[in-house]
């Protein structure tokens, strides 16, 4: 069992490591700007207890000028994606963990969401469609592959960490979803509008649309983000773990050397498929009756100085299935670095 699990993880890691090595050299002698970031999402920062979406972690690697070549070639042939010379893209690797509200019950809780884990890697490309002093338009495309089930190591990660910090372990991981390969494609279009206030302050409003297709998530959504601060065009917002608000590890230190902003946004989604609630696609497994309409409310603050950006945020997610007692609440910390 251990050998099989290690083999699956090795294959999954190869999706991120091999393509990354393939784009390490460019056709230019000059060094390209490279961005690294880590995003941690945890309900400890929100509700303060392990339930629903309990933890997520994602590492991001972005190159400013050369996205993955193979993905660039695919994006050029897709009708939705608008390709321009101003591009960025890279790879992400992450894990998500889901549990029911009562993690001390070992028996299957049929009225609460399944135990589930998701270990994945994503390749992404973004293209700047239009850029003026008061308006910017961006579209992005992501391909995600991963594993749902015991091979995601979600139960192991959660309980080993709980033992390390002296917290009760979750007792019901024997009831988790079964192993299933997950594939997803996500497209985002974002419109940013900028205005100047007094004393160097700016504000921006950014409507966006999103479409995601796959056996893990299938949904269509849209929303709006509001930001208030300075040098707002330095970035498009910090990364979030899907489903979530569009953002990127990318930021520019060129305008002023530092920037900050507070932000708040809302996104609504019409959901046709959520494997973490609907259960396995090809095998019998625990499932619940999901809600087809879900909304996120996010707010936070971001500060960037020179080659580093730090962002703190909180997110409230409306009830995702019938019988869920409370909305999900979790917080996020993102740290991004530019290496030029």
The domain that holds 223 is classified in CATH as 2.40.128.140
| Domain span holding position 32 | 2-339
Could you tell me how far CA 122 lies from the centroid of its own chain? 10
* Element (DSSP H or E) covering residue 204: strand 202-214
Q: Are 37 and 335 in contact (CB under 8 A)?
A: yes
Residues contacting residue 89 through CB under 8 Å, at least 6 positions apart: 62, 63, 66, 67, 68, 71, 72, 123, 124, 125, 126
Q: Are 330 and 122 in contact (CB under 8 A)?
A: no
Residues lower than pLDDT 70 in the chain: 1-31, 45-50, 254-256
pLDDT tens for 324-336 read 989 999 999 999 9
% residues pLDDT > 70 (the chain): 88
User: How many structural domains does the chain have?
Assistant: 1
pLDDT tens for 98-119 read 999 999 999 999 999 999 999 9
Residue 240's pLDDT is 85
Name the pTM for this structure: 0.87
Q: Are 235 and 251 in contact (CB under 8 A)?
A: yes
């Amino acid at each position: 069992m251990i050998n099989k699990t290690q083999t699956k993880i090795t294959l999954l890691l190869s999706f991120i490591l091999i393509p990354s090595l393939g784009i390490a050299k460019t056709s230019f002698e000059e060094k390209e700007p490279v961005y690294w970031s880590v995003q941690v999402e945890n309900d400890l920062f929100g509700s303060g207890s392990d339930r629903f979406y309990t933890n997520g972690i994602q590492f991001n690697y972005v190159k400013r000028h050369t996205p993955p070549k193979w993905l660039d070639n695919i994006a050029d042939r897709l009708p939705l994606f608008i390709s321009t010379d101003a591009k960025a893209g890279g790879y992400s690797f992450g894990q998500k963990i889901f549990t029911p509200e009562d993690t001390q019950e070992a028996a299957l809780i049929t009225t609460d969401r399944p135990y589930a884990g998701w270990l994945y890697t994503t390749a992404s490309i973004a293209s700047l469609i239009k850029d003026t002093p008061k308006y910017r338009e961006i579209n992005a495309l992501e391909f995600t592959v991963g594993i749902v089930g015991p091979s995601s190591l979600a139960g192991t990660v959660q309980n080993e960490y709980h033992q390390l910090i002296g917290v009760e372990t979750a007792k019901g991981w024997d009831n988790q979803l079964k192993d299933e390969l997950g594939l997803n494609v996500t497209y985002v279009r974002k419109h940013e509008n900028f205005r100047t206030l007094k004393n160097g302050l700016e504000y921006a409003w950014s409507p966006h649309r999103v479409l995601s297709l796959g056996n893990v998530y299938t949904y269509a959504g849209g929303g709006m983000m509001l930001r208030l601060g300075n040098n707002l065009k330095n970035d498009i917002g910090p990364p979030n773990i899907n489903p979530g608000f569009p953002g990127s590890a990318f930021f520019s230190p060129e305008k002023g050397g530092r920037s900050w902003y507070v932000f708040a946004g809302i996104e609504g989604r019409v959901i046709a498929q959520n494997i973490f609630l609907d259960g396995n696609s090809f095998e019998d497994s625990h499932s619940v009756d999901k809600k087809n309409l879900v909304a996120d409310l996010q707010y936070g603050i971001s500060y960037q100085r020179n080659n580093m950006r730090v962002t703190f945020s909180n997110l409230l997610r409306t009830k995702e299935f019938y019988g869920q007692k409370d909305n999900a609440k979790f917080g996020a910390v993102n740290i991004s670095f530019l290496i030029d």
